[in-house]
Amino acid sequence: MLEVNNLKIFFAGQETLKGISFKILKGSTYALVGESGSGKSITCAAILGLLPSNAKTEGEIVFDSVNLLSEPAKQRFYRGRKLAYIPQNPTASLNPIKTVYAHLAETIKAHKPELAQSQIADYCKEILLSLQLKNWEKVLKSYPFELSGGMCQRILIGLALIPDPEIILADEPTTALDVTIQAEIMSLLLEKTKAQNLTLLLITHDLALVAQSCEYISVLREGQICETGKVKEIFADPKHEYTNCLLQAF
- Which phi and psi angles does 97 have, rounded to 5°? -105, 10
Query: What pLDDT was estimated at residue 184?
Result: 80
Mean pLDDT throughout 43-52?
Answer: 94
Residues 158 and 131: beta-carbon distance below 8 Å: yes
Residue 162 pLDDT greater than 90, yes or no: yes
Between 182 and 192, residue with greater pLDDT: 192
Domain enclosing residue 230, as ranges: 2-249
Residues 22 and 201: beta-carbon distance below 8 Å: no
Mean pLDDT throughout 154-163?
Answer: 91
Average pLDDT in the chain: 91
Tell me the percentage of the chain whose pLDDT exceeds 70: 99
Residue 176 pLDDT greater than 70, yes or no: no
Least Cα distance to 178 among 151, 158, 207, 200 occurs for 151
Residue 180 pLDDT greater than 80, yes or no: no
Between 188 and 214, residue with greater pLDDT: 214
Residue 246 pLDDT greater than 70, yes or no: yes
Query: What pLDDT was estimated at residue 43?
Result: 95
Report strand pairing: 55-63 vs 2-11.
antiparallel
- Which phi and psi angles does 227 have, rounded to 5°? -160, 140
pLDDT digits (tens, 9 = 90+) for 114-131: 999 889 999 999 999 988
Amino acid at 149: G
Residues 92 and 176: beta-carbon distance below 8 Å: no
Coil, strand or helix at 100? helix
Burial 75-109 (b: 16+ CB within 10 A, else e): beebbbeebbbbbbbbbebbeeeebbbebbbebbe
Residue 191 pLDDT greater than 90, yes or no: no
The order of strands in the sheet holding 199-204 is: 83-86, 167-171, 199-204, 29-33, 216-221, 224-230
Residue 83 pLDDT greater than 70, yes or no: yes
- For the whole prediction, is pTM greater than 0.85? yes
Query: Domain containing 55 — which CATH number?
Result: 3.40.50.300
Rounded to whole angstroms, the Cα distance separating 40 from 38 reads: 6
Number of domains in the chain: 1
